Chain A
Amino acid sequence: MVEVAFFFGAIGAIGGALAVVMLRNPFYSVLALVVHLVFLAGLFLLLLAQFIAVAQIVVYAGAVMVIYVFVAAYVGGIEEPIFDSSPKLRIFGPVLAAALFIEISIAVLGSSLIALGTDGVATVQSGFGTPEAVGTLMLEDFLIAFEAASLLLLVAAVAAIVLAGRKDESTVSEEPAGAGEAR
């Protein structure tokens, strides 16, 4: 049963990931990433990370993807010919990725797990992965990281306003012409 659920989730996650890379329209790529994240949240549930799975769906597939959809719609669906980058990258990109996959697999399966020397998956107590457990860890053991994260989010919000905000009147008057041209 667990195996069936794992392969269902894995096939969905890989399919979504491939669709993100292969689809031409960036808008469809965003939607494919939502599919990928939902299947990945299912895999997180199999790993007993209930809180992370729900946070993934609410924060990622809900909030972050809305920003992506908005920006993809704002800049317009540029139909990019797939694999029309420079010929070197077109060949070497997938080859390098395959090499990286083999390399990581060897590193993780061949040496890391042996070096860790664990015998099988550990048994966990009943509260593992619940909001209570994660919250206790976060507010007791990782309090500094938690505070740093809040500061980072504030800085990112300010940075987005500074980057995307309108600078002066000339930019505002230019913009309609530019937007019309780009469409």
Chain B
Amino acid sequence: MAIEWYLVLSALLFSIGFAGVLVRRNPVVVLLCLELMLSGGALAMLSFSRLHGDGDGQVFVLMVLVVAASEVVVGLGLVVAMFRRRIPLDVDEMKELRG
């Protein structure tokens, strides 16, 4: 199986996630689309790792997993804080930093 197929698939997943980040307004769904973009990147790294027969890319993907988990925790904490303060859950409405 040629490695190009995996790379095109990873580009496609990244683009789908990118479209979701631009189009959707619910912050929870925006975070989900960010996960899609991250998984596209992870697939590309694993493809190159397989292409070179080198395990370094797999460690990179584990690091991506860790960073994604941290990002999810902080992002969802923000969503819960917004919900508590009755700020509308709509990323188009968020125009100022002050709570």
Contact = CB atoms under 8 A, between A and B. Distances in A.
Q: Which of A3, A164, A166 has the most CB of B within 10 A?
A: A164
A111 B52 CA distance: 17
| Residues of B in contact with A, size category | 35 or more
A119 to B, nearest CB: 11
A101 B77 contact: no
Nearest to A71: B76
Contacts of B95: none
Interface residues of A, number: 91
Interface in B38-70: 39, 42-44, 46-47, 49-56, 58-59, 61-63, 65-70
Contacts of B14: 100-101, 104
Interface in B3-20: 3-9, 11-20
A56 to B, nearest CB: 7
Given A36-B36, A47-B49, A96 B13 contact: no
B11 A20 contact: no
Nearest to B54: A122
Contacts of A166: 84
B61 to A, nearest CB: 5
Given A13-B9, A46-B1, A152 B67 contact: yes
A128 B53 CA distance: 8
Residue from B1, B2, B58, B70 whose CB has the most chain A CB atoms within 10 Å: B58
Nearest to A40: B39
A59 B42 CA distance: 14
Interface in A26-47: 26, 29-30, 33, 36-37, 40, 43-44, 46-47
Contact of A75 (B28, B43, B69, B71): B28
A74 B51 contact: no
B27 to A, nearest CB: 9
Which 9 pairs from chain A and chain B are nearest by CB? A122-B53, A97-B19, A156-B70, A93-B22, A163-B77, A101-B15, A21-B20, A104-B11, A160-B77
Given A97-B22, A133-B55, A159-B77, 10 more contacts: A14-B9, A21-B17, A43-B6, A43-B43, A93-B22, A96-B19, A122-B52, A128-B55, A142-B56, A164-B81
